[in-house]
Amino acid sequence: MNQTQSATSGSFVYPSTSGTIPASTSAEMDALVHGLHSHKDKWTGESIENRLGYLERMIHDFSALADRWVDQVTSAERIEGDDFAIGIECMAGPYSVLRNLQGLKSALLDIQVAGAPKIPGPVVARTNGQVSAQVFPQTVYDRILFGGYRVEVWMEPDIRLEDLPKTQALSYSHPTSSGKVALVLGAGNLPGIPVTDVLDKLFVQNQVVLLKMNPVNDYIGPLLKAGFRCLIEAGYMQIAYGGASEGAYLCQHPDVDEIFITGSDKTFDAIVFGAGEVGARRKAEHQPLLKKNVNGELGNVTPVIVVPGKWSQEDLDYQAESVVSWIATHASCACNTPRVIILHAEWPQRAAFMDALRRVYSLTPLRFAYYPGSQQRHQSYLDTHSGVEKIGEPKEGELPWTIITDVNIQNRAEPCFTTEAFCSVVSVATISAASIPEYLEHAVAFANEGLWGTLAAGISIHPISMKEPQVKAAVEKAIEQLRYGTIGINCSAGLSWVLMTTPWGAFPGSSIYDIQSGDSFVHNTLMFSKPQKTVMYAKFRETPKPIGFVSRKKVLRRLSPLLVDLMAQPNLWKLPRILRTALAKA
């Protein structure tokens, strides 16, 4: 487990602004909690048929508000005219929510027939005995639209092959008549996060939910109320508003049984141990203030390990665009955004790769720094580093794409390694080694021990390099040894968040006394109870390029609403138009 601490987490605790919607009063919050408390046992007894009915109604309601959702985010984050940013928001918002709902629907139908969700691909024991299940592609639409991707979920080492089905859907195979009220403290960066966190609590963990919106994006709350209206009317879900004081009030409410937060490790510590010096002392003494079960997904300093090889110029440009596109997503304000690019010091093409990065950055629109504190955090990196490259001419409120090149991997106090930036900053760390296997061994050790967090990581590796037995063995060992909840091979690990079939969360093993990136998984529509990590495989180069690349921004914007429509009402007759749009050059 990484032992460095987050100095000032970029996953903001709560902004100083009060949000756009008035905070809920204590009387209003009491009423919401008491209403949920009175319905929590009823929810555990709801039949699968009734749950399927709720899912069907939410699919209809969320699809009906998709356009308004994207319009509101576009306005709030000031991304009018930015095709890439708008398309990404559509995919990470309405599309991912509908994908989550459809995945849950499919899982419940499988549970009705077979008692557990159906795993769509092979389930095998790896050479070390660890069970691996291929979970993607899952549907015919996945196979057609995402043909270059394969995703596996590796289970914790104590799971045996024959026992895997028994570890799925435990809330359904071992139901309880006693329900729970869960408080979900919503994330402020992506409005889709609180929705999918709520769905996980309800349909995977069998708990009724009070969602407290984050003031950063509480403007989306009324739309979420419309999407969740069937569950709200039934008394199984509610929404509250406010900042730190309202969050603290709800966390301490006697009728709130469990708490889930997507946000900051600092917020997690404040909830569990209390704030300030008193809280720090409680944490050091292992004396939690709050005895309830508190779980979270709490960010990461995400590494991308570039495995050297003999790359063509097209290879260099493609992989550079892959990394920059991942960085640019959500204005670099996502928990899986790459923060450290790891390069082999002796790679002859290292400078050429850096030049390719710069070229892609220069063609990528700058973003308004919408997330509270982004400007200040960005300035702090400029103030503490001399090797800073700024790319782009920012208008008022925007930040330049920023590369920091003077980091020293021996300096474990380096802010680039200990702090989730949550702004347009990425650092480049070089590792000297006599061979590629040695480089990978050092890179994995650095990622595991030198970087804060355990959420997501990436590896870029050329297929020709994988034909060398020693390199292939070293890459496979690296994937096995990386202590991260999601690993993207030649792709953004953030795609796992969108797919929903895959568990999304930190590598298991954190304690509340060193929480790192958190201690639980969400999404996980196949309802695994003991996943260890998700491993995503993509082609080193794909033609045409994936729609998530910045150069395909116009295609992404045209295609994303078509994919939302397909997810709302799957129909093979929709595929020809989707494929024509996806294959367009611009």
Q: Is the peptide bond before 137 cis (omega within 30 degrees of 0)?
A: yes
The structural domains of the chain, with segments of one domain joined by +, span: 26-119+174-297, 120-167+496-534, 302-484, 552-582
Residue 251 has pLDDT above 90, yes or no: yes
What span, in angstroms and rounded, lies between the C-alpha atoms of 350 and 499?
32
Strand partners, 340: 303, 427
In the predicted model, what is the mean pLDDT of the chain? 94
DSSP 8-state code for residue 331 = G
Residue 60 burial (10 A CB sphere; 0-12, 13-18, 19+): middle
Q: Is 488 helix (H, G, I), strand (E, B) or coil?
A: strand
For domain 302-484, which CATH number applies: 3.40.309.10, 3.40.50.12280, 3.40.50.2300, 3.40.50.300?
Answer: 3.40.309.10
Q: What radius of gyration, in Å, describes the C-alpha atoms of the chain? A: 23
Token representation of residue 388? 């800073």
Q: What distances in angstroms separate CA 136 from CA 30, 122, 214, 332, one per listed residue?
A: 42, 10, 32, 26
pTM higher than the cut 0.75: yes
pLDDT band at 9 (very low <50, low <70, confident <90, very high): very low
DSSP codes of every residue in 150-209: EEEEEEPTT--GGGGGGGB-HHHHS--S---EEEEE--SS-THHHHHHHHIIIIIS--EE
**CA–CA distance, 550 with 361 (Å, rounded to integer):** 9
Asked if pLDDT for residue 214 goes beyond 90, the answer is yes
CA-CA distance, 119 to 104, in Å (whole number)? 13
Contact between 488 and 538 under an 8 Å Cβ cutoff? The reply is yes
Written as six digits, the tokens of 583 are 């294959």
Question: Out of 3.20.20.70, 3.40.605.10, 3.40.640.10, 3.40.50.300, which CATH number does the structure's domain 26-119+174-297 have?
Answer: 3.40.605.10
Encode pLDDT of 435-476 as tens digits. 999 999 999 999 999 999 999 999 999 999 999 999 999 999
| Dist. CA 180–CA 194, nearest whole Å | 18
pLDDT tens digit sequence for 388-431: 999 999 999 999 999 999 899 999 899 999 999 999 999 999 99
Q: Where are the beta strands (DSSP E) in 203-360?
A: 208-212, 237-240, 258-262, 293-297, 302-306, 338-344
C-alpha 196/C-alpha 262 separation (Å) is 11
Q: Give the confidence band of 264 by pLDDT, cuts at 50, 70, 90.
A: confident
Q: What is the pLDDT of residue 585?
A: 78
Rounded to whole angstroms, the Cα distance separating 580 from 129 reads: 43
Q: Strand pairing of 123-125 and 131-136?
A: antiparallel
Q: Where are the beta strands (DSSP E) in 416-489?
A: 425-431, 456-460, 486-489
Three-state DSSP state, 431: strand
Max Cα distance, the chain (Å)? 66
Strand partners, 136: 151
Structure tokens belonging to residue 279: 């809280």
